[in-house]
Structure 1
Amino acid sequence: MATERPILLVEDNPDDEALTLRALSKNRISNEVVIARDGIDALDYLFGTGKHLDRDTTQLPAVVFLDLKLPRLDGLEVLRRIRADERTALLPVVVLTTSREIQDIQEAYHMGANSYIRKPVDFERFLATVGQLGQYWLSLNELAET
């Protein structure tokens, strides 16, 4: 039996990380969650570089939840690099951010984001939103073979 593909959560805010993990758990989403706290770490994980040099890069995550406002390398640049590489070009990427900037939304979709979700400020709405995202991308969505 194949193992479940992990979720890559690219998030630098420890509170949002904890809330996301809680929401996934509360919604009985059992996939492993790999945390990258900046854009460089996310790309290192995906491409097997840096501290992830020994990772099997043929095993991609089921979905990437990507914040935009990240240290070292912002989320839009991470998205651009994901889409530019044939190994990850079809990887589902959901932008999950606090940004309400129209330019960020347009740029994210222009660069190939599969979805753009604003993080709700309300705790219960945040839990519900992340739970719905997890259910959709991990239970309902059909992944492209990569």
Structure 2
Amino acid sequence: MIQLRPLLLVEDNLDDELLTTRSLRKAGILNELVVKRNGEEALIHLNQLATDQDPFALPTVVLLDLKLPKVNGLELLQHIRATPFLQLLPVVILTSSSEERDIVESYSLGANSYVRKPVKFDQFSEAVRQLGLYWVITNEQAIPKRSI
């Protein structure tokens, strides 16, 4: 049996969380969706994964909003890239920001993709569907080795 790795959604907007969940399910993506509603929760979760060093518990992809309470998305991305066990995680910035500095800084810190959330429901749904299909089905990933 194939073990499906989870997806990690770091999102503080409940409407965007629900729409993302619905869009992924509608696309047939059955992976567990782990949701953290602020950067601090996500940081704690990712640090626990780094401590446990179970490569199959790592998310297939991190869908990361930038404008988060407590720890913002860019700080979280920087932490992911600085943590050896986490640094290969694919991170997709999924945000409403179209600020050039956010785009440049995201890529400078190692984001794999930057997607601006469309305002319209159907466009948002389609964008999430395509992200899910690409990162879960199409993309080949490197699985980190335990350093124990």
Settle same-fold status: TM greater than 0.5: yes
Over aligned residue pairs, what C-alpha RMSD do you find? 1.3
Corresponding position of 1:101? 99
One-letter amino acid matched to 1:71: P
- Gaps of at least 5 residues in structure 2 are none
Aligned pair in 2 of structure 1 residues 10, 35: CA closer, same or farther (>3 Å)?
A: same
Corresponding position of 1:43? 43
Please say if 1:126 is aligned against 2:112.
Answer: no
Distance 2:127 2:97 in 1: 16
Distance 1:2 1:26 in 2: 21
4+ runs deviating over 2 angstroms: none
Please say if 1:111 is aligned against 2:116.
Answer: no
Shift, 1:57, TM fit = 4.3
Aligned pair in 2 of structure 1 residues 89, 75: CA closer, same or farther (>3 Å)?
A: same
**1:5-61 CA-partner distances (Å, limit 9, x unpaired):** 000000000000000000001101000000000111111111118xxxxx9442210
One-letter amino acid matched to 1:32: E
- Look up the SS of the partner of 1:34 in the other structure: strand
Q: Is the 8 A contact 1:23 1:127 kept in 2?
A: yes
Distance 1:66 1:91 in 2: 12
Number of aligned positions between the proteins: 141
Corresponding position of 1:88? 86
Q: Is the 8 A contact 1:46 1:57 kept in 2?
A: no
- Look up the SS of the partner of 1:116 in the other structure: strand
- Look up the SS of the partner of 1:96 in the other structure: strand
- Gaps of at least 5 residues in structure 1 are 50-54
Corresponding position of 1:52? none
User: Of the candidates 124, 136, 139, which is equivalent to residue 138 of structure 1?
Assistant: 136
One-letter amino acid matched to 1:31: N
TM-score, normalised with respect to structure 2:
0.92
Shift, 1:2, TM fit = 4.0
Shift, 1:3, TM fit = 1.4
One-letter amino acid matched to 2:99: E
Corresponding position of 1:8? 8
TM-score, normalised with respect to structure 1:
0.93
One-letter amino acid matched to 2:74: L
Corresponding position of 2:77? 79
Percent of aligned pairs with the same amino acid? 55
Q: How does 1:29-40 map to 2 (within 5 A)?
A: 29-40=29-40
One-letter amino acid matched to 1:6: P
